[in-house]
A = this chain, B = another copy of it.
Amino acid sequence: MAVMSVRPHLQITQIVSQNPRIHTKATFHYNPLTRFVSLRSSMSGGGVKGRGGCSVIRSSLIDPDGGALVDLVVPERERAARRAEAEGMPKVRLGKIDLEWVHVVSEGWANPLRGFMREDQYLQSLHFNSFRLDDGSFVNMSLPIVLAIDDEAKEAIGTSPDAALVGPDGDLVAILRSVEIYKHNKEERIARTWGTTAPGLPYVEEVIAPAGNWLIGGDLEVLEPIKYNDGLDHYRLSPRQLRKEFDKRQADAVFAFQLRNPVHNGHALLMNDTRRRLLELGYKNPILLLHPLGGFVKADDVPLDVRMEQHSKVLEDGVLDPETTIVAIFPSPMHYAGPTEVQWHAKARINAGAISTLLVGILLGWVILPRRGTCIILIMGKRF
C-alpha cells in the first residue's frame, strides 16, 4: 500500500498556473508535481511499496525556532482599516529584494523574527549568527535581514513611530511598527557576513552597495499575502502550509534539498541516498522537500520558471519518488555567502519542519547550528 492511499487531498492554496511552460492538471489541487504520484504508482514502485506501516505513522516534525510560527499578514477583516492607517504614515519605498524579505519574514521562515531587524538583533546576527531568546535559549539567525533607507527617507520618517512600506509598483505592502533607525555600516556587514570584502560578490554589488546608509528595523504588519503573479505562486508554500502537508502525509522526518539550479543525477542520488539512510535510522516515512530558491539570484543562474519545469520533469521521469517528495519554492533571496548562508538555508527549513537540509556547492565548512535539533549539513554526500 503506497502513501497515496492514506493522504487526504489538500487544498491549501489555489492553483493558478499562468506559466504556459508548466502544464498543471486540475486533478491535483495542492502541488502540481504530485500529479506524478499516480504515474509513479503504476510504475515499478521502487522502495516505496511494501514499506508498510504508513497508515499508523504519526507526524513528529521539529518545532519552529522560538515556538509557534509567526504569521504577520493582517487578518482579512482588518485590512481595510490598516490600509487606511498606513496611508497616513511616512512611506518607505521597497526594492524587489526588500519585498522578497517582507515575504520571507511574514510567513515565519525567519521565525521568531517579526520584522526587519532592529540594531540589537542585527548585532546579535552579525556577531553570534544567533538570537538569544527571552528564555535564555538560542536560535540560529546568521544573515542580517535588514531594510536600508537613504537620508531622505530617514528625514521623512523623523520621529514617527511607524512607517508604511510601499512596493516597487507603488502599492502599499506593509506597516513597520515602532521603527528604529541606525547606521548601515556596510563594510562591517559585508566583512562579517562574507568573511571577505573582495569585489565581485553579487548581493553586495547589486543590493548593499547601492543601498542607503541607514537601516530601519521594526515589526511588520503585512497588508496582504505577497504574490508575484508569475504563474508560480502556487509553488510558494509557506512553512505553515508545508507543515500541514507533511502532517497530512504523516511524515515522521522531512529532509530538504536546497538548490538554485537544475537537478542533476548526482543530486538525485544524494536525495535518494538520504532517504535510504533515514529509513535505516528507523524513520518510517521520510518526506523530501525539493526546495528551489525563488528570490534574488545572480544573472547567470538558471531562471526560476525554467528550473521549476526541469524539476517537474525529474519527478515525471521517476528519478525522484513523487509519493515522498514535495516541490515548493523557497522565497528567500540568495546572498552567496557560503557557510553563513547555509545556516540560513537550514534554519528556514527547520521552521518548515525539516530536520535535515542538503546543500550542494563548494566546500562550506563545518557549522554547528546552535539549536537543540542540530541540522545535518551534507555536501554532495559528505557529512560535515
Contacts and interface: CB of A to CB of B under 8 A. Distances in A.
A144 to B, nearest CB: 12
Nearest to A194: B191
Contacts of A188: 195-196
Contacts of A185: 195
Contact of A197 (B132, B136, B197): B197
A6 interface: no
Contacts of A382: none
A141 B40 CA distance: 51
Of A128, A129, A197, most B-chain CB atoms within 10 Å: A128
A228 interface: no
A112 to B, nearest CB: 16
Interface string A122-150: 01101111101000101000100000000
A123 B188 CA distance: 19
**Residue of A123, A185, A187, A195 with most partner-chain B CB within 10 A:** A195
Interface stretch (A216-224, A312-320, A362-370): A362-370
Tell me how many chains of this kind the complex includes. Answer: 2
Contact of A192 (B123, B130, B192): B192
A198 B149 CA distance: 25
Interface string A185-215: 1011001101111100000000000000000
A130 B370 CA distance: 9
B127 A339 contact: yes
A291 to B, nearest CB: 23
Nearest to A198: B187
A366 B128 contact: no
Contacts of A366: 119-120, 123
A120 B192 CA distance: 18
Given A127-B129, A128-B129, A129-B128, A138 B187 contact: no
Contacts of A343: 127
A372 interface: yes
Contact of A195 (B124, B130, B187, B370): B187
A106 interface: no
A356 interface: no
A113 to B, nearest CB: 16
